[in-house]
Amino acid sequence: MVFPRPLRRVVRSVRSRGVRLFYYWSHRGHHVVRILWASHVVHHSSRRFNLTTALRQPWTSLTVWPFYVPLVAAGVHPAALAFCSSASLVYQFWIHTERIDRMPRWFEFVFNTPSHHRVHHASQGGYLDRNFGGILIVWDRLFGSFVAETERPRYGLTKSIDTYNLLKVATHEYVSIAKDLRAARDWRERAGREFRGPGWGPGTAVVPASPLAAVPAPSSAAVPASPLAAVPAPSSAAVPAPSSAAVPAPSSAAVPAPSPAAVPAPSPAAVPARSPAAAPGPVAETAPVAKSASA
């Protein structure tokens, strides 16, 4: 398609950035889709990071081209795609190094740098599947895959293959996929083994994402939340609490308290007080009277 002269520069710029954007998604896809990772794993298998790492390219690199089909359909010439891809590879050669620490801040913000690419090649958890940009790092900032270098990276694969045999390095992931497909129980598992992430398995969907999630918190339905909850507290329904209805408290109605009516207090009427008027004479004088009466 022929564009007017004022628009040609704009169109070339849009096409160039479009190629870089589709490279980002192609690179990201080769990390999160296992059948594509089987090709790209060759580039990440080195446990060292230097300029020679940039030359570790797979023999199945044609897997990147399906990602550029939309650009060709939009009118980008295949020769332009080939040129942009070659320019990206040339640019990325110098960023495979530990000799350069950081670039100027403005450069680090826009472009891919050795620091950013060291993160991409690292195998520890916080660095996995990050910084996919080729020339520009702004795509990672836009799509949430950017991580800055904060600790020294550990290079290589999460599961080391422990071999320098070129044939095994180039094909070991394809062999693993074939074994997993033979052991798969149904078509869902077969599809997952091919098109999901490199570490996917039938049971990995329920694996918690953090150590804290691995141990479920105690709940009232399964395990009592505290030792006090394990032993039910006494309640009025199970063990009636002492009350006036069950065990009557001592009161005037149940156990009469000593009162003038129940236990008569000594009074002049019940126990005559010793006084000259009420008390009889001496005891010695009354005894002879009793004897004479019985006679």
Considering the domain boundaries, does residue 123 fall inside one?
Answer: yes
Considering the domain boundaries, does residue 91 fall inside one?
Answer: yes
Considering the domain boundaries, does residue 151 fall inside one?
Answer: yes
Q: Cα separation of 49 and 285, whole Å?
A: 137
Considering the domain boundaries, does residue 233 fall inside one?
Answer: no
Read off the pLDDT of each residue in 242-263 and give the average, rounded to a whole number.
46
Confidence (pLDDT) at 288: 44
Phi, psi at 80, each rounded to 5°: -65, -40
Considering the domain boundaries, does residue 74 fall inside one?
Answer: yes
Range of the domain at 120: 5-166
Helix, strand or coil for residue 111? Answer: strand
Specify the number of domains making up the chain.
1
Confidence of residue 93 (pLDDT cuts 50, 70, 90): very high
How far from 142 is each of 46, 67, 172, 247, CA to CA, in Å?
29, 19, 34, 76
Residue 238 near residue 232, CB atoms below 8 Å: yes
Considering the domain boundaries, does residue 258 fall inside one?
Answer: no
Residue 26 near residue 64, CB atoms below 8 Å: yes
Confidence of residue 65 (pLDDT cuts 50, 70, 90): confident
> pTM here?
0.64
Considering the domain boundaries, does residue 137 fall inside one?
Answer: yes
Q: In this predicted model, what pLDDT tens digit does every residue of 185-236 receive, in sequence order?
A: 999 999 999 999 998 888 765 444 333 334 444 444 444 444 444 445 555 4
Read off the pLDDT of each residue in 123-142 and give the average, rounded to a whole number.
95
Q: In this predicted model, what pLDDT tens digit does every residue of 163-181 receive, in sequence order?
A: 989 999 999 999 999 999 9
